[in-house]
């Protein structure tokens, strides 16, 4: 399941803006505000207009909760982040697989840590230690690394589950946090 979820998040498109997407109304405020050609050109020249967002890099309108990924070079729907582990953006269409990948990675590293625990305890016991020095060093190192990795993945998993519970993304949390921190409204 770990490999299935990993390859699913790697090969699933995170979600992109359909070509020539145009809002029928201002979706963020719920106001009927259909765009025609003259209003669209006025939008491009007026950066103070916050109702409808425009991506300068893609040269197209952006739906709400859409962000431009500088690594992928495109706008991604409900973008959470660009993940170096999966060499892909995590967005609307592959976020489920990313959460499953974190969950199964945590389970695997915890299982290996628990399997190595008796050997780790035997390493510190007063009795005879079975195995060669190389085997003992490998077991000790594998236990410590798996424990550290399991705890760090657990932190990521808890963070992303709380983001899902709050219906927000990592980018939105950091953007909103910087607004509050610096007192901008």
CB atoms within 10 A of CB 72: 16
Q: What is the pLDDT of residues 35-94, one digit of tens each?
A: 554 444 444 444 444 567 888 888 888 888 899 998 988 999 999 999 998 999 999 999
For residue 38 the two structure tokens come to 């003259």
Stretch among 35-39, 118-122, 146-150 having the lowest mean pLDDT: 35-39
Based on the residue annotation, tell me whether 83 is a catalytic residue of this protein. Answer: yes
**Measuring CA to CA, which residue among 12, 20, 14 is closest to residue 58?**
20
For the chain, the average pLDDT equals 81
**Token representation of residue 17:** 């803006």
How confident is the model at residue 1, as a pLDDT?
A: 95
- What is the helix (H) or strand (E) element at residue 119, kind and residue range? helix 95-123
Q: Are 122 and 138 in contact (CB under 8 A)?
A: no
Is 109 within 8 Å of 157 (Cβ atoms)? no
Q: What angle, rounded to 10 degrees, do the helices at 133-165 and 95-123 form? A: 150
174 Cβ partners below 8 Å, 6+ apart? none
Please tell me which residue in 55, 58, 72, 83 is annotated as part of the active site. 83
Per-residue confidence at 31, pLDDT binned at 50, 70, 90? Answer: low
The closest alpha carbon to 97, from 16, 15, 171, 152, belongs to 15
Nearest to 64 by CA among 82, 77, 48: 77
Tally: H helices and E strands in the chain: 5, 6
Average pLDDT score over residue span 153-174: 93
Q: Does residue 128 register a pLDDT over 60?
A: yes
In whole angstroms, what is the distance from residue 88 CA to residue 83 CA? 6
Nearest to 88 by CA among 13, 157, 3, 18: 13
């Amino acid at each position: 399941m770990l490999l299935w979820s990993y390859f699913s998040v790697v090969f699933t498109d995170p979600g992109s803006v359909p070509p020539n997407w145009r809002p029928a109304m201002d979706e963020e405020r719920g106001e009927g505000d259909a765009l025609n050609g003259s209003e669209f050109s006025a939008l491009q020249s007026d950066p103070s207009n916050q109702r409808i967002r425009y991506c300068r890099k893609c040269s197209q309108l952006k739906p709400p909760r859409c962000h431009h990924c500088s690594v992928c070079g495109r706008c991604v729907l409900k973008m959470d982040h660009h993940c170096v582990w999966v060499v892909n953006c995590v967005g609307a269409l592959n976020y489920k697989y990313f959460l499953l990948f974190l969950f199964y990675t945590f389970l695997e590293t915890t299982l290996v840590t628990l399997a190595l625990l008796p050997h780790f305890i035997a390493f510190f016991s007063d009795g005879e230690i079975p195995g060669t020095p190389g085997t003992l060093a490998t077991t000790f190192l594998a236990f410590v690394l798996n424990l550290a990795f399991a705890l760090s993945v657990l932190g990521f998993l808890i963070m992303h589950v709380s983001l899902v519970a709050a219906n927000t993304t990592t980018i939105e949390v950091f953007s909103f946090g910087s607004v509050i921190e610096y007192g901008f409204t």
